[in-house]
Structure 1
Amino acid sequence: MPVGRNMAVEHDDDVDISTPFHKYFNPNYSAEFMSKLPERIQQRAKVLLHYHEEYEKLRKNFEEKETALRRQYDELYAPLHDHRKEIITGSREPTDEEVTKGFPSEHEGQVEIKVTEAEADKSVVGIPGFWLRVLRGHVLSDSLIEEHDEEVLNHLKDIRSGVLDGSYGSFAVVFVFGSNDFFQEESLVLSVKHNDDGVKITRTPPTWKPGKDVTVETVTKKLGGKRGKGAKTKTFTVPRNSFFNVFKEISKDKAEAGGDGDEEDDDDDEDEEEQIEQLLNVLHTSIIPCAVNFYTGEAPDGSSDLESADFDDDDDEEEDEDEEEEEEEEVLPKRGPKGRGGRGGNKPANAQQECKQQ
């Protein structure tokens, strides 16, 4: 029978159901807690643990099958993405049959394809600037792109993503570039790997050619001298905002910039990693599958999703402020990074979104 408003709930007054802080430091806390429970409550809790084990078996089986299915569909998607890359890069021209398929169904049999020599601009190959426009089409990726990044991103030939072996929800995003004057690599890879401790992002950093690193700028400063007499100038590089900072290890980047590595910096690092994880999730589930919709402007720009996330973050900050006021002298230990299922943590990028139109 459900518990009614006026019904008393039976419990043992000796059982402390609160969560003491020392549980975070005591690996035997659970066993000790269970041993203090009345025998009948212990038995009921053990029954629940049994059913939870059965649930975990089913969930693990589901995750394994879902990962296998996604890997299978990655292979089925590949030929379609190959065709997309061919058209974008201009490695081949679309056939008349392909062009016809691109028309709305109501135009079938009504439109004749005819391109005169005057109209055919053979100097234009493929779809120039396709991927830059696609990345500019979503507010999250657009917010990271600076003007000095655009020339580099115009060399993008393809962006792919796929499921990785390992823990459920792991995937990789591959940026494929044509030959360029900026860095040596043809492919830059960002991998998202889920594990018991949370999420780890691994990167393939570009090997920048001399003087071509867009993540830094050159600054000239005058040193010494009075009233400009005898002053020497020193030229050095300083970090600057760039889309390509996502390929840098944050701790290494901070060390090069002379970071102190204090607790506030650690919190900033965690926020930056979460932003990059969010970007990769958006690329994997939305931008890459629906690239042409972002190119044409039909796809939503993602601002509504980010606004709802910001609203949740504001709620969390207000709750944190309230807790700090109530417990000024009490310091809670960290329980590890926000991982799968944690409030505010990004869920694994498994649910590929349908390509929506505005």
Structure 2
Amino acid sequence: MSDLATDLPAAAAALSAEDRAGLVNALKYYYHGRINFDKLQLLAGEHVDVLQTLSTKVRQRVEVLKVLQSQHDELETKFLEERAQLEAKYQKLYEPLYTKRYEIVNGVIDVEGITAEDALGEENKADEEKGVPNFWLTAMQTNETLAEEINERDEEALKYLKDIKWCKINNPKGFKLEFYFDSNPYFQNSVLTKTYHMIEGDDPILEKSIGTEIEWHPAKCLTQKILKKKPKKGSKSAKPIIKTEECESFFNIFNPPQIPEDDDDIDDNVVEELQNLMEHDYDIGSTIRDKIIPHAVSWFTGEAVQSDFEDIEDEEDGDGDENEDEEDDNDDEDEDDEEDEDDEDDGEEEEEGKGKSKSGGRAQTGKDQPTERPPDCKQQ
């Protein structure tokens, strides 16, 4: 993209330096802001034209309104600062609870009150089932958004997931997810991270996301499938033709969509597709951060599903009331039309390989070696 400052409309020259900087930033992030260049030109011109049409008295009133707005902005800034401090305070208070959850889930400690009588007749089973097997896998499968990302091949690897943590990052702004795994036959990494860089505002916008490069063991990559074809008849080589294709997998979240460096000649359809992919990527990350991590046991037991369903019902009921009012108004109008007409009458669609697993049932046990809890995800 050329020098953005010189591309602004001539009318923008009358804007303050702060407003001009805002327009430049909006242009830089037009992928995410859903506002194209032409609309920005129009907005800049309209902004100046409106001010020029005001009479002296009205302009003076607007100046007073601007002072009020400035006072509001100062209060809002303080609110955001205090909210951030409050969130940080409670995040520290949550940590001991998360630590104990980790220890119980992974069999580091056991809960009080379990006696020998309770385990009578289940000794062999108790030896196999330390902690809570497949805790995180089951919790994520119970959530509709995440269940769509997990297929049968992923389940075996996700049985080794021991903990999920998140923390804010400040430079740049955003948040980071950390997935802690026991040693497993699929990849070498003990921790997989996903970092989301956000453009802050009333409606935060995802600038980009970065995932860990997974070090797959040979022939264990879950994001690719290997296709073997028999050689054509008469071919000199009798060896099968081996082809590798990308496939759907939960682990694709660690290879997120990338924004092209050269954005001059990008087709609108490509921009829209990229935007949809990034929104979906953010939905997955925010679901894990806001729902799964703080309420994991409720998703494991399935109780959170009902709570989520009730929230959706409440929203639909609110929309339904508005729709009913509109229907009543329309009915009244229809009745009036019918009366007018009477007066006038007196005168005259399974893709192979997806293998989606959407059940919230518990899977089989993976490795359950008790280990120390991973270090806390430090705020950066």
Superposed pair shares fold, TM > 0.5: yes
- What letter corresponds to residue 76 of structure 1 in structure 2? L
Q: Tell me whether 1:122 sits opposite 2:139 in the alignment.
A: no
SS in 2 for 1:219: strand
Tell me the CA shift for residue 70 of structure 1. Answer: 1.0
Structure-2 change in CA distance of 1:219 and 1:22 (3 Å) = closer
Q: Tell me whether 1:220 sits opposite 2:228 in the alignment.
A: yes
Corresponding residue for 1:209?
217
Q: Tell me whether 1:240 sits opposite 2:257 in the alignment.
A: no
Name the CA distance, whole Å, in 2 between partners of 1:22 and 1:171.
Answer: 32
SS in 2 for 1:122: helix
Corresponding residue for 1:282?
287
SS in 2 for 1:299: helix
State whether residues 71 and 162 of structure 1, in contact with CA within 8 Å, keep that contact through their aligned partners in structure 2. Answer: no
State whether residues 206 and 279 of structure 2, in contact with CA within 8 Å, keep that contact through their aligned partners in structure 1. Answer: no
Structure-2 change in CA distance of 1:113 and 1:167 (3 Å) = farther
Q: Structure 1 regions of 5+ residues with no counterpart?
A: 1-20, 100-111, 255-259, 313-358
**Which range moves more in the overlay, 128-137 or 116-125?**
116-125
Comparing both chains, which one has the higher relative contact order based on Cα–Cα distances under 8 Å and sequence gaps of 6 or more?
2
Structure-2 change in CA distance of 1:289 and 1:22 (3 Å) = closer
SS in 2 for 1:210: coil
State whether residues 222 and 231 of structure 1, in contact with CA within 8 Å, keep that contact through their aligned partners in structure 2. Answer: no
Name the CA distance, whole Å, in 2 between partners of 1:93 and 1:22.
Answer: 63
Q: Tell me whether 1:84 sits opposite 2:101 in the alignment.
A: yes
State whether residues 191 and 203 of structure 1, in contact with CA within 8 Å, keep that contact through their aligned partners in structure 2. Answer: yes
SS in 1 for 2:226: strand
Q: 1:187 aligns with which of 184, 191, 201?
A: 191
Name the CA distance, whole Å, in 2 between partners of 1:306 and 1:277.
Answer: 20
State whether residues 206 and 278 of structure 2, in contact with CA within 8 Å, keep that contact through their aligned partners in structure 1. Answer: no
Corresponding residue for 1:270?
275
Name the CA distance, whole Å, in 1 between partners of 2:303 and 2:84.
Answer: 30
Corresponding residue for 2:145?
140
Name the CA distance, whole Å, in 1 between partners of 2:247 and 2:131.
Answer: 32
State whether residues 161 and 172 of structure 1, in contact with CA within 8 Å, keep that contact through their aligned partners in structure 2. Answer: yes
Q: Tell me whether 1:294 sits opposite 2:299 in the alignment.
A: yes
Q: Structure 2 regions of 5+ residues with no counterpart?
A: 1-36, 320-380
Structure-2 change in CA distance of 1:173 and 1:124 (3 Å) = same
Name the CA distance, whole Å, in 2 between partners of 1:133 and 1:42.
Answer: 61
Structure-2 change in CA distance of 1:264 and 1:23 (3 Å) = closer
Q: 1:178 aligns with which of 159, 182, 188?
A: 182
Name the CA distance, whole Å, in 1 between partners of 2:138 and 2:120.
Answer: 28
Q: Tell me whether 1:45 sits opposite 2:62 in the alignment.
A: yes
State whether residues 174 and 188 of structure 1, in contact with CA within 8 Å, keep that contact through their aligned partners in structure 2. Answer: yes
- What letter corresponds to residue 164 of structure 1 in structure 2? I
Corresponding residue for 1:58?
75
SS in 1 for 2:68: helix
State whether residues 71 and 163 of structure 1, in contact with CA within 8 Å, keep that contact through their aligned partners in structure 2. Answer: no
Name the CA distance, whole Å, in 1 between partners of 2:131 and 2:220.
Answer: 26
Structure-2 change in CA distance of 1:208 and 1:56 (3 Å) = farther
Tell me the CA shift for residue 116 of structure 1. Answer: 4.4
State whether residues 256 and 281 of structure 2, in contact with CA within 8 Å, keep that contact through their aligned partners in structure 1. Answer: no
Name the CA distance, whole Å, in 2 between partners of 1:86 and 1:189.
Answer: 21
Structure-2 change in CA distance of 1:55 and 1:166 (3 Å) = farther
- What letter corresponds to residue 204 of structure 1 in structure 2? T
- What letter corresponds to residue 172 of structure 1 in structure 2? K
Aligned length: 267
Corresponding residue for 1:198?
205
Name the CA distance, whole Å, in 2 between partners of 1:265 and 1:229.
Answer: 42
SS in 1 for 2:138: helix
State whether residues 187 and 215 of structure 2, in contact with CA within 8 Å, keep that contact through their aligned partners in structure 1. Answer: yes
Name the CA distance, whole Å, in 2 between partners of 1:267 and 1:222.
Answer: 39
Name the CA distance, whole Å, in 2 between partners of 1:76 and 1:187.
Answer: 24
- What letter corresponds to residue 180 of structure 1 in structure 2? N
Q: Tell me whether 1:131 sits opposite 2:136 in the alignment.
A: yes
Tell me the CA shift for residue 88 of structure 1. Answer: 0.9
Tell me the CA shift for residue 269 of structure 1. Answer: 2.0
Larger radius of gyration: 2
Cα shift readout 1:247-282 (whole Å, capped 9, x = no counterpart): 113138x9xxxxx97432332221121112122222
Structure-2 change in CA distance of 1:283 and 1:297 (3 Å) = same
SS in 1 for 2:110: coil
Tell me the CA shift for residue 244 of structure 1. Answer: 0.9
**Which range moves more in the overlay, 68-77 or 116-125?**
116-125
State whether residues 67 and 163 of structure 1, in contact with CA within 8 Å, keep that contact through their aligned partners in structure 2. Answer: no
Q: What does 1:99-110 correspond to in 2, within 5 Å?
A: none
